[in-house]
Amino acid sequence: MARKRSTTLAAGTVAALTVLALSAAPMATAQNTRPSAAQSMVVYRVPTHTAEDARTLSAEGFDLLEHRQGSDLFVLGDAREGTRLRLLGFAPTVEQTLPGPTPTPLRPPPRSGQLPTANPDETYYGGYHTVNAHYAHLDQVASQHPDLATVVTYGQSWRKQTGKPNGYDLKAVCITKLTAGDCRRTPNSAKPRFFLMSQIHARELTTGEVSWRWIDHLTGGYGTDKDVTALLDSTEIWVVPIANPDGVDIVQQGGDSPNYQRKNADDANGGSCDLFGQTGVDLNRNAGTHWGGLGTSTDPCSEIYLGPQADSEVENSALEGLFRDLYPAVRGPGDTDPAPADTRGIMITMHSDASMVIFPWGHDRAVHTGNDAALRALAGKLGALTGYQPGQAGEILYDAAGGTDDWIYDKLGTASFTIEVGDSDSRGCSGFMPAYSCQDSYFWPKMKPALMYAATHAPAPYSTTAGD
């Protein structure tokens, strides 16, 4: 669908990223200068030979990128990390040298102290939507489809809650054919719920664009598309398009050279990182489930910094509060305690760009949930629809504790998945920030059938078998 673009943050034509766009050069602070060659950040290709090798990399707190080629993993770091890899017995090679980031100071707040008026056409980097644009889109959809869409504010970002400039509300939209009692924040809903969220890692731009198109597909298709109509007549669809708005704000300030911010903006735990350090907390390592386990770091400047304590970040506590309002707690406390077979609801959190469908447990590949067979079956179907590899995180990528999908399954028993949206067909659309043209030409056609399949299985996800 063609979309009018009347406003951009930075002008210019953006070419497709032709390098392996695993690059994750963090944002610099304004006082930094460009590094010398010896300080350059690189992506290391690290051959692994056993599952224990990947576990070692996770346990040692390396910044493992969400990508794998065969048995090779990829680590972001400077020369010191290369030395550390070699001391551990690995044989890293330089896959890509990243340019030093250009310091990008925060924009000053408007005179009124408020963010600029939201505009759904505000874009950057060739068409990617800003936080304001996403929020204006939600309001626009609710205004145009009052019988279908309800916007919900479920919290505030770290900046806004602490009174810092450029903070945001945390927003979701509930989409269904509205009847009495729909879209209320109560776990005792008449309809089952399907929940989709994106950009908890700010730099993973494709995920927010998939959510945008999913919202339009549902609201635009009701009454004309029989599958969409049947879905919205029977199911509540919840979407959080931007789970980490402060982080996305940092990304978008780079305009046509977006900053590679992964984490949120919370600098209370260490705001003086060197050029390639990145302040903030990794929200996908901060959730209060097996917190402090593999694939996390206690270094506040690390990309995978887990935070000072479990659920310390307001973005996570607000999201988890929303989850508790929407889904009943139906599972016991043990890792192998199953949720009942008749449990309703599915949650999908989108990341990029490993081309995988991941399900709990993410913290330890050796431990299987009590609903493992059903989760594997549903992940297998989603994998078949997308061409993505299904499995637990440690089976196909690496173990990582403190993630969103583990939290909602652990605490509530809700069926949950991470979809790593990636270029599984080698279309030149790989990386965190592919050319914007990839969104309509490649990613949305790939993701739409998978999301429809998952949403239609929200009434009984644990009844799914491999043949469904």
> Which residues are catalytically annotated?
420
**Largest distance between two CA atoms of the chain:** 64
Contact 364, 294 (CB under 8 A): yes
Q: What is the rounded end-to-end Cα distance, in angstroms, of the chain?
A: 31
52 exposed, middle or buried (CB, 10 Å; 0-12, 13-18, 19+)?
Answer: exposed
342 exposed, middle or buried (CB, 10 Å; 0-12, 13-18, 19+)?
Answer: exposed
- Stated as kind and residue range, the H or E segment containing 138 is helix 131-144
260-297 core/surface letters (b: 16 or more CB in 10 A; e: else): bbbbbbbbeebeebebbbbbbbbbbbbbbbbbebbbbb
Neighbour tally for 426: CB within 10 Å: 7
164 exposed, middle or buried (CB, 10 Å; 0-12, 13-18, 19+)?
Answer: middle
413-423 core/surface letters (b: 16 or more CB in 10 A; e: else): bbbbbbbbbbb
Of residues 325, 28, 363, 24, the one with CA closest to residue 189: 325
Of residues 361, 353, 366, 378, the one with CA closest to residue 429: 353
Instruction: 270-273: list long-range contacts, CB under 8 Å, 24+ apart.
Output: 270/300, 270/301, 273/26, 273/29, 273/300, 273/301
Contact 132, 166 (CB under 8 A): no
217 exposed, middle or buried (CB, 10 Å; 0-12, 13-18, 19+)?
Answer: middle
93-127 core/surface letters (b: 16 or more CB in 10 A; e: else): eebbebebbeebeeeeeeeeeebeebbbebbbbbb
Helix (H), strand (E), coil (C) string for 367-394: CCCCCHHHHHHHHHHHHHHHCCEEEEHH
